[in-house]
Amino acid sequence: MYKVAVIPGDGTGPEVVAEGLKALERIASIYSLEFEFREFDYGGDRYLRTGETIPDSDIDVLRDYNAIYLGAIGHPDVKPGILEKGILLNLRFSLDQYINLRPVKLYPNVETPLANKKPEDIDFVVVRENTEGLYAGIGGFLKKGTPDEVAIQEMINTRKGVERCIRYAFEFTKKRNKNNKLTLCAKTNVLTYAHDLWDRVFHEVASEYPDIQADYAHVDAITMWMVKNPEWFDVIVTTNMFGDIITDLGAMVQGGMGIAAGGNINPEGVSMFEPIGGSAPKYTGKNKINPLAAISAAQMMLDILGEEEASSSLEKAIIAALGEMKGMSAGSMGFTTSEVGDLVAQAITR
């Protein structure tokens, strides 16, 4: 039995999570799996009511779960940073989810803004470091609010953090066994300390994987190539902030936020799965938002839990649903949110 903590969160989070759970219930009945879902009400509404993001004692409660399934975090009435740091980043850091795994895969019948690119051209995975870099939250102000103000935000790169991320990426590339190519995305020409560490560790670990091509691209160049030659990429490993940026580009390339999912992975602990788009306040409660990213996140969860057969059957069902849909954006799918969820659930077979 899998114990799954469900955090629907803000905005359209609850609507899309409901469709993911619908798919998981159906998977459970077909594959004789058992899920115990427990909902946690973290998010903007709770914060506005109680001033609380996640109570510290809850982190230990969450440690006892097999996985966390998250909808969206972000509320128009809460100052940017509070919920992100207090909930999303807090979970990533406290549960040491040191990998953020973001597949960029164009499915058939999904429109990409890239001219003449087909599903066989767009199929790579970004392995984003998820607990360090510019996200570490270290820094401060000096003379705040004066003309002499100094604001410092430090970028943390630890040998341990860099190495475990790079090792994960090599293992992942090997297991994926597609083109056996791993690209390090960094900025070694400017960040001559931090990314020197990344580059050294990358090549050290690469020597243990002679069958994997160790490739390198600067972050600025990679944004060009993701648009011009996405077929060059198999797996990309990168730092937290660069990974954040290039995966939004990746999401567009694969057909939009409506379909992009991610996993915050602690390979030795509790992982958390989420659609990578935000809480989309303007679509909240309208039954218009695309739930496929959230359903894909549930599919990743199955995969990481080791239920590979169930995961690939859910992926097939997602592809089947895509065959019926008119578009990926909210309001132009040809179906409502819950109807898309029904299409997927009905398409799940053994």
Q: Which residues bind ligand IPM (CB under 6 A)?
A: 84, 88-89, 244, 276
Nearer to ligand IPM, 198 or 273 (CB): 273
Nearer to ligand IPM, 84 or 339 (CB): 84
In angstroms, what is the minimal distance from the CB of 44 to Mn ion? Answer: 18
Note whether 174 and 211 are within 8 A (CB): yes
CA–CA distance, 281 with 37 (Å, rounded to integer):
25
Amino acid at 209: Y
Question: What DSSP state is assigned to residue 286?
Answer: S
Other Cβ atoms less than 10 A from the Cβ of 138: the count is 12
In angstroms, what is the minimal distance from the CB of 310 to ligand IPM? Answer: 25
In angstroms, what is the minimal distance from the CB of 225 to ligand IPM? Answer: 21
In angstroms, what is the minimal distance from the CB of 163 to ligand IPM? Answer: 21
CA–CA distance, 143 with 187 (Å, rounded to integer):
31
- CA 22-327-111 angle, 5° bins: 115
Nearer to ligand IPM, 100 or 313 (CB): 100
The secondary element (H helix, E strand) that includes residue 292 is helix 292-304
Nearer to ligand IPM, 87 or 270 (CB): 87
Q: Which of residues 20-39 bind Mn ion (CB under 5 A)?
A: none
Nearer to ligand IPM, 259 or 276 (CB): 276
Work out what residue 88 binds among Mn ion, ligand IPM, none; the CB cut-off runs from 5 to 8 Å by kind. Answer: ligand IPM
Work out what residue 84 binds among ligand IPM, Mn ion, none; the CB cut-off runs from 5 to 8 Å by kind. Answer: ligand IPM
Residue span binding Mn ion (CB under 5 A) among the ranges 49-57, 118-126, 237-245, 260-268: 237-245
How crowded is the C-beta side of 108, counted as CA atoms within 13 Å? Answer: 8
For position 244 contacting Mn ion by CB under 5 A, the verdict is yes
Residues in the chain, overall count: 350
Work out what residue 122 binds among ligand IPM, Mn ion, none; the CB cut-off runs from 5 to 8 Å by kind. Answer: none
* Lookup result for tokens 């807090």: 90
Nearer to Mn ion, 186 or 260 (CB): 260
In angstroms, what is the minimal distance from the CB of 147 to ligand IPM? Answer: 30
Question: What DSSP state is assigned to residue 116?
Answer: T
Cβ-count burial of 204 within 10 angstroms (0-12 exposed, 13-18 middle, 19+ buried)? Answer: exposed
In angstroms, what is the minimal distance from the CB of 128 to ligand IPM? Answer: 8
Nearer to ligand IPM, 95 or 310 (CB): 95
- What torsion do the CA atoms of 219, 223, 224, 228 make, to the nearest 10 degrees? 130
**Cβ density class 278-293: b for 16+ within 10 Å, e for less:** ebbbebbeebbbbbbb
Closest residue to bound Mn ion by CB: 244
* Nearest residue to 307 (alpha-carbon basis) of 30, 8, 22: 30
- What torsion do the CA atoms of 245, 251, 257, 263 make, to the nearest 10 degrees? -80
Work out what residue 72 binds among ligand IPM, Mn ion, none; the CB cut-off runs from 5 to 8 Å by kind. Answer: none
Closest residue to bound ligand IPM by CB: 84
In angstroms, what is the minimal distance from the CB of 329 to ligand IPM? Answer: 19
| Residues forming the site for Mn ion (CB under 5 A) | 244
